[in-house]
Chains A and B, each alone.
Chain A
Amino acid sequence: MHFTFWSVMAYNLIDAAFTYVGQVLLSRGLLQRKGNEKRTVFLSVPFCVLTALLASVIYINQGFSDIRVVLPYNYTNVFFWAVWIFLVYKETLLDAGAAASLTAFFYNVAISMTGFFFQGNADLSVWSELVFFALSDWILELFFAAVLAAGIRRFRLGEAYRQLFYESSFGNRWKIASLFLIAFWHGSVYLINEKKILNNDNPMAAMLLLLLVFCVLNYGSLCEAQKKQLILQESNIKQQETYITALEKIQKEVRMFRHDYKNMISGVLAHADHGDLKAVQEFLGDMAEHFERQTGEDIRRMAQLSKVNIPELKGLFLLKFSEMQRKEINCNLEVSPSIVNPGIPAYDLCRMVGILVDNAMEAVESLKEKKFDLVLTSSGECVSIVVKNPVEDSVPLQEIWKEGNSTKGMGRGLGLASLKRTARSYENVFVSTFLEKGCLIQELKIAADRTWEGQT
């Protein structure tokens, strides 16, 4: 058969549709969420037409045998996909570029895997061979893409990706480095194939590169995990230390009180002897208040803390309390009734709550009365974590959510943006911030199930 532009175009359109589905699967695995579903459907048309058109033009002009064409062609496709991620996931362009680059890389690996099943180049001018090649090519491609997407999920590469690209301090470097992945890929395939473009790929090279990327991501996440483990252990030790210190302090207070109360009682007796009832009342009132202020507060806090039945969160609070003690910040903790894990991973819960508490500490540090409220409450429907701190002057409410923005100047304020990023993976998490009677209230609500849906 003879290849016209339109027959090539038709072939490429179907090919693009398979690629689209494969890349959607991979991006979802990598970004750990679905994004905008309507857009996912609608954008398939322009994507398929554009990529098919580009591929057809290059094919007709026999450009696929030249690395100088192949490379820009692949980057154009990455660019298309970056725009897709930008539109579907509302990521920034650099983030979208990095994710697109990785997606394209994984998809290229999937394509290469099919190379194990084909020997030699198919003779595309024979109809039967063309159909057989096309069908097996597409289906195998999609199959491997789905396997890879499942692998990404299974080995939590998305988690590693998020930690390395968003949470680590070298995030931007990783993102930029990932943009070179495609060039690296084609360059190495080109070199391995002895500077000839055969099938545009080489399954062995694909395997090796996949292994490399997997190792890098895994190593990165392993480092992060170790860091986390270390922090957890440290916080466990701190938790126990703080607990012991608090108990010792309470014991000391009680001992001192016991020592004092004999003197106090004799004072009361003296008043009583004189028949001065008012003085006795005052005296007893003062004594009760004194005890309440000195010891009652500590006893109360420990009692509240014992109602937090999430060890990681309890550890976080103890850590924060010792930090607050150092900074002379007073935190009123209320837990009622006792809180159990609402069903999101403890590390993400701690991350989000930690940000809220840090924000409050930062806000009250400069105030005269360094005090804020931390309220944990649960109803059948949801668990609410509310942090409430007084604010002196007006807070630029629309600004505090933007990345890198804070009322406190540079280098701060990554908090709420990072909180938003963590929260968006969970459909049942609601994050609100608002002012009420001179206080800034930050609120994290975690719905137990999907009962909140459709309520207005």
Chain B
Amino acid sequence: MIPVFICEDERETREKIKSALEKEILIQGYDMEIICSAERPEELLSCAKSQESRGIYFLDVELKGASIDGFGLGKEIRKLDSRGFLVYVTGFGDLAFETFRYHLEALDYIVKGNDGEMLKRIRTCLAVINHRLTEERGEEKEYFTLKQVDVLRHIPLEDIFYFETTEKKHHILLHYRQGRIDFGGNLNELQGQLGSRFLRIHRTYLVNTMQIDKVDRKNRQVVLKNGEGCWYSRKGKSLLDEYFLHRP
């Protein structure tokens, strides 16, 4: 069961959202339940603390009289539930949604005003979340979490090709299926953290064994499934030999 949370300071809107959600969950038979419909962010947070599973949050951006606004609340929620679904509901259409999406990975941004339109969007949101959850359920992915200065990113382990040091101190370049991410870190620490699925084939490379396509002995390179090559050192060679010897 997936917990659903609402935080909205206007009672009327809160009730509207709540009843729309309840109806939709009932009709579609989603495995969700509204466990908290709060006026103040503190209420929601204390309620969310007692929950362990990934939740769905419908949040107002402007919370009158509260100590934090919806953006601050989103940040707090992310600390508790890093992969939950955040949906913002706001009276102002011109607030910066991309910023929310960037910092909080917010799912949607619904503008209040036209009730019919708003409730339709809420229903769509639930459908999208449900679709995503069913899709993910089958494949139980493992994630690697990195801190990119001020934002956290979750990268599926299986998508990672390799990590590389750069000429800049304390910088690591992560090469994965969707691109490359430059973040602050240390290859030795990463190696310890990621365990035996990653091989340190060179002082500057930490390679995902799942992504090795072949070993090009002539050029002393490991060729990955995306076609990129990484050099290996003599020590790396013996690691590779050992890996392929014991591979099931």
Residues on A facing B (Cβ under 8 Å): 35-36, 89-90, 285, 292, 296, 300, 303-304, 332, 334-336, 373, 375, 377, 379, 381-382, 384, 386, 388, 397-398, 401, 424, 427, 430-436, 440-441, 445, 447, 452-456
A447 to B175, CA, bound (A): 21
Q: Taking A296-B94, A398-B226, A456-B190 as contacts, is the C-beta distance between A431 and B182 under 8 angstroms? A: yes
CB neighbours of A375 from chain B (8 A) = 96, 98-99, 102
**Are A292 and B93 in contact, CB atoms less than 8 angstroms apart?**
yes
Whether, in the assembled complex, B227 has its beta carbon less than 8 Å from a beta carbon of chain A, the answer is yes
A381 to B114, CA, bound (A): 38
**Residues 155-181 of chain B: 1 if any A CB is under 8 Å from the residue's CB, otherwise 0?**
000000000001111111001101111
Whether, in the assembled complex, B3 has its beta carbon less than 8 Å from a beta carbon of chain A, the answer is no
**Are B167 and A35 in contact, CB atoms less than 8 angstroms apart?**
yes
Q: Taking A300-B94, A334-B98, A424-B168 as contacts, is the C-beta distance between A430 and B228 under 8 angstroms? A: no
CB neighbours of A427 from chain B (8 A) = 168-171
Q: Taking A377-B102, A452-B184 as contacts, is the C-beta distance between A384 and B150 under 8 angstroms? A: yes
Residues on B facing A (Cβ under 8 Å): 93-94, 96-99, 102-103, 114, 146-151, 166-172, 175-176, 178-186, 189-190, 193, 226-228
Across the interface, name the chain B residue whose C-beta is closest to A435: B178
Known: A334-B97, A434-B176, A456-B189. 18 other contacts (CB 8 A): A36-B167, A292-B93, A296-B94, A300-B94, A304-B96, A334-B96, A334-B99, A375-B99, A384-B102, A386-B98, A424-B167, A430-B183, A431-B182, A432-B183, A436-B178, A441-B179, A447-B149, A452-B149
**Are A90 and B180 in contact, CB atoms less than 8 angstroms apart?**
no
Q: How far is the CB of B111 from chain A (nearest CB, A)?
A: 10
**Are B171 and A388 in contact, CB atoms less than 8 angstroms apart?**
no
CB neighbours of B227 from chain A (8 A) = 398
**Are A397 and B99 in contact, CB atoms less than 8 angstroms apart?**
no
Interface residues of chain B: helix, strand, loop or mixed (majority): mixed
A431 to B228, CA, bound (A): 20
A381 to B147, CA, bound (A): 12
**Are A434 and B98 in contact, CB atoms less than 8 angstroms apart?**
no
Query: What are 5 of the A-B contact pairs (CB < 8 Å)?
Result: A381-B149, A382-B149, A398-B175, A432-B181, A434-B176
A304 to B170, CA, bound (A): 34
CB neighbours of B170 from chain A (8 A) = 427, 452-454
**Are B178 and A455 in contact, CB atoms less than 8 angstroms apart?**
no
**Are A456 and B193 in contact, CB atoms less than 8 angstroms apart?**
yes
A442 to B181, CA, bound (A): 10
Across the interface, name the chain B residue whose C-beta is closest to A425: B168
Q: How far is the CB of A451 from chain B (nearest CB, A)?
A: 8
CB neighbours of A434 from chain B (8 A) = 176, 178-181
Q: How far is the CB of A278 from chain B (nearest CB, A)?
A: 12
**Are B184 and A455 in contact, CB atoms less than 8 angstroms apart?**
yes
Number of A-B contacts (CB under 8 A): 111
Across the interface, name the chain A residue whose C-beta is closest to B176: A434
CB neighbours of A388 from chain B (8 A) = 98
**Are B180 and A432 in contact, CB atoms less than 8 angstroms apart?**
yes
**Are A377 and B103 in contact, CB atoms less than 8 angstroms apart?**
yes
Which one of B98, B148, B179, B226 lies within 8 Å of A332 (CB-CB)?
Answer: B98
CB neighbours of B103 from chain A (8 A) = 377, 379
Which one of A436, A441, A455 lies within 8 Å of B185 (CB-CB)?
Answer: A455
CB neighbours of B178 from chain A (8 A) = 397, 434-436
Q: How far is the CB of B90 from chain A (nearest CB, A)?
A: 14
**Are A373 and B150 in contact, CB atoms less than 8 angstroms apart?**
no
Among B93, B96, B171, B226, max chain A CB count under 10 A is at: B96
Q: How far is the CB of A185 from chain B (nearest CB, A)?
A: 30
Q: Taking A300-B94, A332-B98 as contacts, is the C-beta distance between A430 and B193 under 8 angstroms? A: no
A441 to B179, CA, bound (A): 9
CB neighbours of A292 from chain B (8 A) = 93
**Are B185 and A456 in contact, CB atoms less than 8 angstroms apart?**
yes
CB neighbours of A334 from chain B (8 A) = 96-99
Which one of B96, B148, B168, B190 lies within 8 Å of A336 (CB-CB)?
Answer: B96
Which one of A336, A379, A435, A454 lies within 8 Å of B179 (CB-CB)?
Answer: A435
CB neighbours of B93 from chain A (8 A) = 292, 296
CB neighbours of B172 from chain A (8 A) = 456
Across the interface, name the chain A residue whose C-beta is closest to B155: A434
Q: How far is the CB of B176 from chain A (nearest CB, A)?
A: 8
CB neighbours of B167 from chain A (8 A) = 35-36, 89-90, 424
A377 to B180, CA, bound (A): 21
Across the interface, name the chain A residue whose C-beta is closest to B96: A334
CB neighbours of A432 from chain B (8 A) = 148, 179-183
**Are B146 and A430 in contact, CB atoms less than 8 angstroms apart?**
no
A440 to B179, CA, bound (A): 9
A433 to B175, CA, bound (A): 10
A436 to B179, CA, bound (A): 9
